[in-house]
């Protein structure tokens, strides 16, 4: 039996060591110097608005809004790169995750299912040497619908031919309830207690 196993990125494959305001502040500071809290708010408000609209260029919209709000000569692409780098620097991946994914990839089709943009998530996967484990990436902007809407799982199913579909993620509504409604087998990732990845690595 062939299985397609999809993983969430943020909070599952990658753990965050700083909140989003701190990440944005660090990213902006690397380009602009000391970041005005108002610029951090402008970026995050624009980003959230465009993500809700399923805009694949949400990061650039946020960077454009910051550039328009400052007197400095700012390249939005430089801001996007700096913000991605700041996020990568504040994410970690357990070593047991790599060995577990390596073992799973030998027999199963591994994929990513995320509300984030392809560029942002692919950058994190590449930076943490995870990209080669995944054959398929499903994003909300490309699917036209976001978690926890079960339709994103129907879209994911259309991308991969398998006998069984599995979702691994940390969000109860988006990674457990919704995929179950779509006929996926949900696996809840929890970062507390015994290591999920060590347990998975031992099983596979």
Q: Which residues contact 109 (CB under 8 A, 6 or more apart)?
A: 2, 3, 4, 5, 135, 136, 160, 162
What tokens appear for 124 in the block? 């994190």
Residue 96, pLDDT score: 80
Q: For residue 107, give the nearest of 128, 130, 133 by alpha carbon.
A: 133
Residue 188, pLDDT score: 86
Residue 204, pLDDT score: 47
Q: Is the peptide bond before 146 cis (omega within 30 degrees of 0)?
A: no
Q: Is the per-residue pLDDT at 106 higher than 60?
A: yes
Q: Is the per-residue pLDDT at 202 higher than 60?
A: no
Residue 200, pLDDT score: 65
For 145-173, the pLDDT digits (tens) are: 999 999 999 999 999 999 999 999 999 99
The pLDDT mean for the chain works out to: 91
């Amino acid at each position: 039996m062939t299985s397609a196993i999809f993983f969430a990125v943020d909070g599952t494959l990658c753990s965050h060591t700083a909140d989003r305001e701190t990440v944005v502040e660090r990213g902006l500071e690397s380009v602009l110097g000391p970041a005005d809290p108002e610029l951090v708010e402008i970026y995050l408000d624009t980003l959230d608005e465009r993500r809700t609209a399923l805009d694949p260029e949400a990061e650039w919209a946020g960077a454009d809004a910051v550039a328009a709000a400052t007197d400095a000569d700012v390249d939005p692409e430089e801001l996007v790169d700096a913000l991605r780098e700041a996020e990568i620097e504040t994410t970690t991946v357990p070593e047991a995750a790599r060995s577990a994914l390596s073992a799973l990839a030998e027999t199963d089709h591994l994929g990513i299912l995320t509300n984030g943009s392809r560029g942002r998530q692919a950058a994190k996967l590449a930076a943490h040497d995870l990209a080669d484990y995944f054959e398929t990436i499903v994003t909300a902007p490309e699917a036209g619908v976001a978690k926890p809407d079960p339709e994103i799982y129907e879209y994911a199913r259309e991308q991969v031919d398998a006998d069984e579909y599995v979702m691994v993620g940390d969000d109860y509504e988006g990674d457990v309830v919704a995929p179950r409604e779509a006929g996926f087998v949900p696996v809840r990732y929890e970062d507390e207690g015994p290591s999920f990845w060590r347990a998975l690595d031992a099983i596979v």
